[in-house]
Amino acid sequence: MSILDFAKGNQKFQNVKFKENEQKYLRLVKEGQHPKALFIGCSDSRVLPESIVAAKPGDLFIVRNIGNFVPPYKPDNDFHSTASAIEYAVSVLNVEHIIVCGHSHCGACAALYQDLEDKPELIHTKKWLELGQKAKEVALVADGGTPQTTEKVSILFQLENLMTYPEVKRRVESNNLLIHGWYYTLESGKIEYYDDEKSRFMPLNEEDVCK
């Protein structure tokens, strides 16, 4: 695709999708956003959060980064994009759910097994990938470090990091916030959720939404 294709796509969006949902968009402008969930997903171009859950405008507050990683709470004066989005979603938008959604064929998890020492142009990526090292270590012990195990274990560590945020922890413990670990399979479009009671990922069905 080219920039021209994107421009044509926007024209199509204005003429079709926007027209179909014009009142919804205008209401969101007038009333502001009130999303029910914060969706933390990967920047991978093959994963479209709104599409895989059929979300409507205003439903999701979305954060995307390399590997759908969640940095632990670090109250210093540096720049923290993902952390800021988490704080805003929880403390300002008052979301009721946080979803951390990993996926199959994740480039970030694959990169955990590659040597980036001689690639100074990836200095920030190398640092960011440290957030996946614990998952790699567990996966290596579990099955030699297969991609799917690394991807799924990583989700669990990101959920742990979420709980280092004081307001997230407080709201989870007071039952005002639910956090979810999801795994999306590119080949099938199916989503699995992590079941705490069974300690494994299970197919996501309607009856499992609030688990």
Residues 113, 145: contact at Cβ < 8 Å? yes
- To which residue do tokens 């979301």 refer? 95
Q: Give the number of other Cβ atoms within 10 Å of residue 64's Cβ.
A: 16
pLDDT of residue 117: 84
Give the residue extent of every domain in the chain.
1-32, 34-208
Does the domain spanning 34-208 belong to CATH 3.40.1050.10? yes
Average pLDDT over residues 65-86: 96
pLDDT of residue 208: 55
Q: How does pLDDT run across 89-102, given as a tens digit for each residue?
A: 999 999 999 999 99
Residues 104, 187: contact at Cβ < 8 Å? yes
Instruction: Specify which residues 201 forms β-bridges with.
Output: 194
The conformation of residue 122, written as its DSSP 8-state character, comes to G
Average pLDDT over residues 113-122: 91
pLDDT of residue 211: 47
Rounded Cα gap, residues 138 and 115, in angstroms: 19
User: With 80 as the cut, is the pLDDT of residue 209 above it?
Assistant: no
pTM, to two decimals: 0.94
